[in-house]
Amino acid sequence: MTDAAIPTAASLRQTVEARLKKRHAQEMRFRLYGRMAIIVALCFLALLLGRIVTQGYSTFVDYRIAVPVYLDPARIDKADPTGANYDMLVAQSILTKLGEQDDDLGEKSGKVMEIMSNDLGFQLLKMVREDPSLIGKTITVTGPVKSDAALYFKGQIKRSTPQDSRKLDDQQLDWMDKLKASGAVTSGFNVSFLTNSDSTEPEQAGVLGAIVGSAMMLLVTAVLAVPIGVLAATYLEEFAPKNRWTDIIEVNINNLAAVPSIVYGLLGLAVFINWLAVPRSSPLLGGLVLALMALPTIIIATRSALKAVPPSIREAALGVGASRTQTVFHHVLPLAMPGVMTGAILSLAHALGETAPLLMIGMISFVPGVPEGFTGAATVLPVQVFIWENASERGFHERTAAAIIVLLVFMIIMNLAAILVRRRFERRW
């Protein structure tokens, strides 16, 4: 470099200052982009959550009808109480309450049955079967109104719609107004949505079966995937020699984490159902498939948590004469635990929301109760959402959104747990 090319202090300063404006502008631009990206993401999140909540919140309010029914001995055979038409009894009692007389063809009572749930009839049947001495007495039954009726109360079926393009006619709407005004129909928190399982009637369908199914399936997944994953990762990271074979294994584990989940469903179908004859549609089967799916993620999370433990701890333990196993299990793994647990919980949360592989292994079936053990038929929350979304009744649509809310609540709880575990154990450093 010649002397002429060396800038003087003053000119150097000028050059730097001229560029300075540009540099600041660049920084401002970058910050702006960042903020915009976050705002867009938040908007989408708000839109998504807002839509789900506005669609689903109405499920948590239900309308129940209370009606006194005279158990007429003339119509209920004491010897065979199950043979009587309890729906008709309830319908006619409601008509009486409305001050109407049923016609000979039973047209009016038929119309009443369209606004009351058949749950009322079932309740009567159950009571009479348990205690036949009730026959001849008047007892009050309380049960949900039909989901279409509830939609009218919630304002989703409007009187302004022409009569022939809505499910309920004017007379039924009049009756319902009257029942509501008389206090026979009351509204409240929909407990049955959380205590009932799936049903063909939207007003009786709930998520309990799906919640229990999900919990059982997740338990199977956790019991299998977490210990196997953590131990496999520990072996690979701390004990296995670093050679071509372990490299190949590592690459393959990373690849497995990226395999589409439906492929795991196919694998489950081929291996667990066709070969090992695990009962289909059971929490055990779902748990096995999801455990396969969660394994690579848990292994990767555990390995990176183990890598993050400073080598000085290993040296310290080895230095006082701890064996390799003692070093790992007394010091390294406990220190990696927050990372391991976070990874495990997040991959279990992921498994909780998984639907595709479960469809492959036949979990998409109508299961009207809580699963009977790990090999019984079960459904799980995301699949329940899928099933209800495909249903034709309007009442199931709001339940779809409500089930999504329940699923999201569980997800949030699991993610919070992951954060808490991390915070709780990180203090030790």
Partner 1 sequence: MPSQRDDSIAHDTVAPVHIAVDRAHASQPAGPIKIRARDVNVFYGDKQALFDVSLDVPENSVTALIGPSGCGKSTFLRSINRMNDTIPGCKVTGRIELDGEDVNDRSIDPVVLRARVGMVFQKPNPFPKTIFENVAYGPRIHGIATGKAELEEIVERSLKRAGLWAEVADRLHQPGTGLSGGQQQRLVIARAIAVSPEVILMDEPCSALDPIATARIEELIDELRNQYCIVIVTHSMAQAARVSQKTAFFHLGKLVEAGPTGEIFTNPRDSRTQDYITGRFG
Report the interface residues with partner 1, using CB under 8 A: 241-242, 310, 312-323, 326, 330-331, 335, 428-429
Nearer to partner 1, 275 or 429 (CB): 429
Q: How far is the CB of 241 from partner 1 (least distance, A)?
A: 7
List beta partners, residue 239.
none
Instruction: Provide the angle, in degrees to the nearest 10, between the axes of the packed helices 9-56 and 394-426.
Output: 130
Residue 357 near residue 285 (C-beta atoms within 8 A):
no
CA 88 → CA 84, 116, 133, 256, 343, distances in Å?
9, 11, 20, 59, 57
Nearer to partner 1, 329 or 410 (CB): 329
Question: How far is the C-alpha of 385 from the C-alpha of 402, rounded, in Å?
Answer: 9
Q: Please, which residues have CB within 8 angstroms of residue 74's CB and are 6 or more apart in sequence?
A: none
Q: How far is the CB of 210 from partner 1 (least distance, A)?
A: 42
CA 384 → CA 85, 280, 406, distances in Å?
32, 16, 11
Polymer length of the chain: 429
Report the Cα 262 to chain-centroid distance in Å: 19
Q: How far is the CB of 296 from partner 1 (least distance, A)?
A: 24
Nearer to partner 1, 323 or 390 (CB): 323
Nearer to partner 1, 31 or 324 (CB): 324
How far does the chain reach from its first CA to its final CA, in angstroms?
Answer: 53
Nearer to partner 1, 98 or 313 (CB): 313
Residue 66 near residue 184 (C-beta atoms within 8 A):
yes
Q: How far is the CB of 63 from partner 1 (least distance, A)?
A: 58
Q: How far is the CB of 323 from partner 1 (least distance, A)?
A: 5
Instruction: Specify the residue for token string 């049947």.
Output: 125
Nearer to partner 1, 155 or 321 (CB): 321
Q: How far is the CB of 334 from partner 1 (least distance, A)?
A: 9
Q: How far is the CB of 236 from partner 1 (least distance, A)?
A: 14
Strands of the sheet containing 61-70, edge to edge, are 138-144, 61-70, 185-189
Nearer to partner 1, 33 or 235 (CB): 235
